[in-house]
Amino acid sequence: MATGMFVNPLPLLKASKLLQFDFPADYKARECLPNVNVEAPEIEELYGKLGTPLKQQGHPCIMETEPEAEDPSGPPYQDQIIDIDRSVTINHTGRLSGSFIKYLASANFKSIVRIYANPLTFNGPVLTLASIDKPLTPGANAANTWFWEDPKTRKQLLFTAHVNFSPTSKGLKAGHTYKLICRWEFWDVAIKPSERMPISGFNEAISFDVSQKTQDL
């Protein structure tokens, strides 16, 4: 399993009725960027494939919304040095898979994706960058919407958490480094009070630095 990431399926468990959650590297919603695959291929072949079908795993993608000339212009799309005066985009894709998922794809269940920035270079509060609360009702292929990878088979339900924000609006400080934490929760809301389901995932493998304002070189 990739360092800095936890999802709860058992990759060696064989079952016909199974629900799994993972962060596949090659799926995404339209007009979004995919998870960043940074694992060594030989390690990933042994430990990094999860879900049904088995997929290599990836980490959250973070970039300036309007990249500068020196920023990455092709895959992998990842920029972990953010200017304090430029908008930031984060994408993180999760997948529910297995033959059982079609029974949960309804408004009776929901996900909450919480994205945080934890300061590493000074003592300060953990900052909330986003909290995305959505039902597991499948919709069109789009950001922040659960959708079927193939509506005919209904075996892979995907969601790309997609957020844009200015660093100053979230309280980020120039000259400091932060740990990016993406935490996924699932809830049964058909009962009162709602109950958190025993599937979840989080990723804290990515850090980013906030630099001073943009300079033209």
d(Cα 209, Cα 183) in Å, to the nearest integer?
20
Between 50 and 165, name the one with better pLDDT: 165
Q: Per-residue pLDDT for 159 more than 60?
A: yes
Give the gyration radius of the chain's Cα atoms: 18
The whole-number pLDDT of residue 66 equals: 84
pLDDT one-digit tens code per residue, 104-131: 999 999 999 999 999 999 999 999 999 9
The answer to whether the predicted template modeling score (pTM) of the entire model surpasses 0.85 is yes
d(Cα 82, Cα 59) in Å, to the nearest integer?
17
The arithmetic mean of pLDDT across residues 147-155, rounded, is 96
**Quick one: pLDDT band at residue 19, thresholds 50, 70, 90?**
confident
**Quick one: pLDDT band at residue 215, thresholds 50, 70, 90?**
low
Mean pLDDT across the chain: 88
Contacts of 89 (CB under 8 A, 6+ apart): 33, 62, 63, 64, 65, 162, 163, 164
User: What is the CA angle 18-19-20, rounded to 5?
Assistant: 115
**Residue pair 82/36 in contact by the 8 Å Cβ criterion:** no
